[in-house]
Structure 1
Amino acid sequence: MQKLKLPEFEVKLKDKNIFCLVRKKWVVLTPEEWVRQHFLNLLISHLEYPKGMFRLEYSMSYFKNQKRSDISALDKEGKMFLLVECKAPNVKLDQKVINQVSEYNKVLDSQYVAITNGMNHFIWKREENRLTQINEFPFYQS
């Protein structure tokens, strides 16, 4: 798998599977899953997010369509804190991806919204019903 612009960590691989840091089970290793696991490592090991506050592939209904967010982190009260859409490293983070995560956030109402392909990362903070791009990923709010 491709080297990403995310902190390295000891990845557990077996056959065509990767051990999920949060779900604590083997999942199929795809380029998107590679990015998700590296991003989870950033959040857990570097930004102090507790493993128990994540919802991966969180299911939601949006205009009668079932959608799933890649990474959702809840705050201590159980409200959505951070929503992350992961893409494979070769996928361009364009307006289509921004629209996708924005649509998810209309349902989930997260304080922070991010997109990543492991090479580039963008994050926005919700301020007065609009998203403002910021430069740093937030530490977990305990």
Structure 2
Amino acid sequence: MQQLNFPSYNFRFKNSENKVSIFDDIRKKFIILTPEEWVRQHTVQFLLQEKKYPKSYINVEKLIKINDINKRYDAVVFHPNGELFLLIECKAPDIKITQNTFDQIARYNLKLKAQYLMVTNGLNHYFCQMDFEKEQYVFLNELPAFSNSQITK
């Protein structure tokens, strides 16, 4: 798999029926390794190891309904009270992040109401904080780490 713009992490792999799978620490199972999954797994490790978000607050690939259409978010981080702290959209490294990508995560966030957004293709990472009053997002240089964030509100 392609080298990404993340620190190096140790992953567990298995090969079955000529398909490589990667172990997902959140879902606690092996997932077929696609380019997007490679980015998602790096993102999860980034949240756990660099930002120190507790594993129990992270959720990966769940179904949501947007305008009666089933969609799937890539990953989220919750507050202990169940409110959404961070919504993450992962793309494969060969997918350029465009305004359409931000429109997609913004549509999801109209329903989910996360405080922060992260969009990544593994090579480029974008972090935003929501301003719900002005109905816009403000770009940040990085996500808040667990210890100095408001995640424990």
Find runs of 4+ consecutive structure 1 residues off by over 2 angstroms: 127-130
Q: What is aligned with 2:99? A: 95
1:71 matched to 2:75? The reply is yes
TM-score by structure 2 length? Answer: 0.89
- Structure 2 distance, partners of 1:126, 1:58, is 21
Q: What is aligned with 1:7? A: 7
Give 2:34's match in structure 1, choosing from 30, 35, 44.
Answer: 30
For 1:42, give the aligned amino acid: F
User: How many equivalent residue pairs?
Assistant: 142
Which structure has the larger Rg over C-alpha atoms? 2
For structure 1, list consecutive stretches of 5 or more residues without a partner in the other structure: none
For 1:18, give the aligned amino acid: I
For structure 2, list consecutive stretches of 5 or more residues without a partner in the other structure: none
| Deviation, structure 1 residue 75 | 0.8
| Deviation, structure 1 residue 58 | 2.1
Provide Cα deviations, 1:107-132, integer angstroms capped at 9, x if missing partner.
Answer: 10000011000000001101234211
- Identity between Structure 1 and Structure 2 (%): 38
Local SS of the residue matching 2:97? coil
Q: What is aligned with 2:45? A: 41
Q: What is aligned with 1:59? A: 63
Give 1:130's match in structure 2, choosing from 125, 132, 136.
Answer: 136
